[in-house]
Structure 1
Amino acid sequence: MKVFGITGYSGSGKTTLIERVLPQLAARGLKVAVIKHTHHDFDIDRPGKDSWRAREAGAAAVLLASDHRTAVLTEHRDTPPLLDDLLAQLPPCDLVLVEGYKREPIPKLEVHRAETAKPWLFPDDPDILAVASDVGPPTDFPRIDLDAISQLTDFIIDHALSRPTA
């Protein structure tokens, strides 16, 4: 499975970029999965539901299944999951887009918007291969316009699928 990161600060447009390239990747015949890291304390379970009750009673994991999708709710009470552990849980696919996980040593595209007024990440991360931005970086670092979705898709394919499998 090939892995490619989409990184940047909150509000930079990482999710929007992924949402825009996914149809193009699918149109090119690729089966793509997405891992999204969140710093927010989130829960898709609801108090009182059977799955919630099982987790509260001590289940390490609860698998929810319908005729159309499945979800595994895994408790990480002691340590957060590692990216490699999450990748191992995915079904077979051609490419995994990883949103977040800034510090992981995987090839990445930095998403940057001038309006966020955040610093660039690429100078301190050798795994960032280019930036997708509405402004040019302060150096001659490779840049692709945020609205050039076909070019961004090509870049992801060229740099993700040409690398060894994770």
Structure 2
Amino acid sequence: MKVFGIAGWSGSGKTTLLEKLIPALTARGLKVSVIKHAHHGFDIDKPGKDSYRHREAGASEVMLACGTRWALMHECRDEPEPQLADLLTRLAPCDLVLVEGFKQEPVPKLEVHRPASGKPPLFAERDDIVAVASDEAIAATIPVLPLNDIAAVADFIVDHCQLKV
């Protein structure tokens, strides 16, 4: 599996880019998975549901399954936060894993940067950012891609990861 990150400040448009990028990549015949890092706690379960009650009772893992999907919830409790490498081992084989967040992990990344946000670019500080997608022309020593040109972003990722499409 190839791993490629999408990084940027909160509100920069990472999720929106991924939402458009995934169908562009799958249309090329690639099997794509995503790992997203959440800075704050989250819960995909609902209080009162059986699975929630199982976790609250102390189960370390609860798996939900139906005819269209399954989900595994693992409670960390006294364990440290999982690292990206550990999470990657839990995914089924695919061609490409897109990673949203995990800024500090040393995987090649595309930064989503919007100068109007007033936030400094990350690519100036990180050598694992191999390209930047922006809604404005910016000066950089790495490739700058138009944020709204999804085909160009997809082409860059396919080429950088040396994926066969």
For residue 124 of structure 2, what is the aligned residue in structure 1? 123
CA RMSD of aligned residues (A): 1.2
Quick one: structure 1 residues 95 and 139, their matched pair in 2 at CA, closer, same or farther if it must change by over 3 Å? closer
Give CA deviations for 1:27-71 in whole Å, capped at 9, x if unaligned: 110000001111122111111211111111111110000010000
Tell me the residue number matched to 2:82.
Answer: 81
Runs of 4+ in 1 over 6 A off after TM superposition: none
Aligned to 2:155, the other structure's residue is in SS state helix
User: Does 2:162 correspond to 1:161?
Assistant: yes
Alignment coverage as a number of residue pairs: 162
Structure-2 separation of matches of 1:146 and 1:8: 12
The unaligned stretches of length 5 or more in structure 2 are: none
Instruction: Tell me by how many angstroms 1:136 deviates.
Output: 3.0
For the residue of structure 2 that corresponds to 1:123, the secondary structure is coil
SS at match of 2:89: helix
2: CA distance, partners of 1:21 / 1:4: 12
1:47-96, Cα deviation, whole Å (9 max, x unpaired): 12111111111111100000100001110112111111111111111000
Partner of 1:21: 21
Equivalent position SS for 1:55: helix
Query: Matched residue of 1:15: which SS?
Result: helix
Measured after TM superposition, the shift of residue 114 of structure 1 is 2.2
Q: Percent identity?
A: 60
TM-score by length of 1: 0.93
Structure 1 position 135, deviation (Å): 2.1
Matches within 5 A, 1:95-106: 95-106=96-107
**Partner residue, 1:109:** 110
Task: Using the TM superposition, name which of 40-49 and 101-110 deviates more.
Answer: 40-49
> 1: distance between equivalents of 2:45 and 2:22?
27
Q: Could you list the runs of 5+ residues in structure 1 that have no partner in the other structure?
A: none
Give, in whole Å, the separation in 2 of the partners of 1:157 and 1:56.
Answer: 43
